Amino acid sequence: MSGELTKKIQDIMTAEMGQIGVFIVSKQCRDLGIDPENIAPEDLNDLAKALGKVMLTFGGSEKAKKIEQQIKKLARAGL
């Protein structure tokens, strides 16, 4: 299940950032002390905020908000 969550988050970031999206997810996970290969549902809130901050730099506030909402939606979906 956790690997599935990792894949979904990587897919979200790759859709916005291309192949660098996977690297961004991995880097933010490491910075937060999260295993990037086994993201757990309880990690999603912190990870959503961190990835949102990264997206502010790369895509502006709208993209940042979109990314954060998509990841938080995974948490609400109970994945």
**Mean pLDDT value across residues 42-51:** 95
pLDDT value of position 2: 54
- The predicted-structure confidence for 5-33, as pLDDT tens digits, reads as follows 999 999 999 999 999 999 999 999 999 99
**Closest to 5 (Cα-Cα) out of 55, 34, 41:** 41
DSSP 57-79: HHHHHHHHHHHHHHHHHHHHTT-
pLDDT of 60 over the 70 cut: yes
pLDDT of 64 over the 60 cut: yes
Confidence at 1, pLDDT banded by 50, 70, 90: very low
